[in-house]
Copies of this chain bind each other. A is one copy, B any other.
């Protein structure tokens, strides 16, 4: 059973042929066009190349950054691709490949979380929540060995849990969503604010961004924090605090046994996870009288989304 996994990210499309154990056999990577048709063409082209290379593809699994309907075919909305409003991506791609194989579409955070469940830190959990801390905050829920998609494909949208009424305004049009407080974007925001308020402590962060605070980016904050810089550690302390609060809110609904935290910023390890764990216990209902979920870093790596998409394509 060989599948073609496709991960449509904000800047690049990654694709891979995976074997029956989800191991990657061959890879492709192309820039993401802004145009929906061009995206479809790229996917079809990769499929043809894979077939031409001799792979017996049985299904295509697409990981997409957007809301995917319960049908596992339709993008209902995506912040970055205006055409993706109630857009049947499965049909559009299928048409280009003469419907030779089924095309299954899943939300990118669902794919990454599922990847952790089948091949990473989530193995063996019976009630897992995976959170991907990237530009935003994505979520995936796995209950009793099944990805939980909700009634309209909108379950596990934990990045949009309302954490602060009238809080930071979010690209979704609401305010105070969790991802405004826990994400790479919010890491930058916390660090920028700290530089503005504590210029006397800002030497290292200003060095890293060439003196222009508007050019400060997440990886610079990670580097500073790992060097022990006080403002870098502060910024991770804040997103960690809100990660803990967000997990506590999630636990009020789901009471999971495991949280798996993925995404680029998790490379700093306990710099993020310790404040997250501390605040999870601090804001968890009945903390002193109950079992607690484990909170661990993801282990499936950057291919988690591809692996998850590959595995889900045949389910």
List the B residue with the shortest CB-CB distance to A201. B288
User: Taking the nearest CB of chain B, how far is it from the CB of A82, in angstroms?
Assistant: 10
Chain A 134-166, CB within 8 Å of chain B: the 1/0 string? 000001010100001111111111101111111
User: Taking the nearest CB of chain B, how far is it from the CB of A76, in angstroms?
Assistant: 5
Determine whether the beta carbon of A289 is less than 8 Å from that of B77.
yes
Chain A 238-282, CB within 8 Å of chain B: the 1/0 string? 000000010011111111110000000000000000000000000
Binds B, one of A7-15, A35-43, A97-105, A192-200: A192-200
Known contacts A67-B286, A199-B288; is A158 also within 8 Å of B252 by CB? yes
Determine whether the beta carbon of B76 is less than 8 Å from that of A198.
no
A147 vs B44: C-alpha distance in the bound complex, in angstroms? 43
Residues on the B chain within 8 Å of A70, using CB? 291
Copies in the complex: 4
Binds B, one of A50-58, A109-117, A169-177: A169-177
Known contacts A162-B245, A200-B288; is A255 also within 8 Å of B157 by CB? yes
Residues on the B chain within 8 Å of A223, using CB? none
Known contacts A164-B165, A253-B253, A254-B150; is A173 also within 8 Å of B158 by CB? no
Chain A 11-32, CB within 8 Å of chain B: the 1/0 string? 0000000000000000000000
Known contacts A166-B164, A250-B253; is A172 also within 8 Å of B127 by CB? no
List the B residue with the shortest CB-CB distance to A154. B255
User: Taking the nearest CB of chain B, how far is it from the CB of A139, in angstroms?
Assistant: 8
A155 vs B255: C-alpha distance in the bound complex, in angstroms? 5
Determine whether the beta carbon of B155 is less than 8 Å from that of A173.
no
Most buried by B among A150, A155, A250, A291: A150
Determine whether the beta carbon of B160 is less than 8 Å from that of A285.
yes
A189 vs B157: C-alpha distance in the bound complex, in angstroms? 23
* CB < 8 Å neighbour of A164 from B164, B283, B287: B164
* CB < 8 Å neighbour of A289 from B76, B163, B164: B76
A195 vs B248: C-alpha distance in the bound complex, in angstroms? 19
Residues on the B chain within 8 Å of A76, using CB? 286, 289-290
User: Taking the nearest CB of chain B, how far is it from the CB of A21, in angstroms?
Assistant: 28
Determine whether the beta carbon of B248 is less than 8 Å from that of A154.
no
A152 vs B290: C-alpha distance in the bound complex, in angstroms? 7
CB-defined A-B contacts under 8 Å, sample of 8: A77-B289, A86-B289, A151-B257, A153-B290, A161-B249, A165-B245, A174-B193, A174-B285
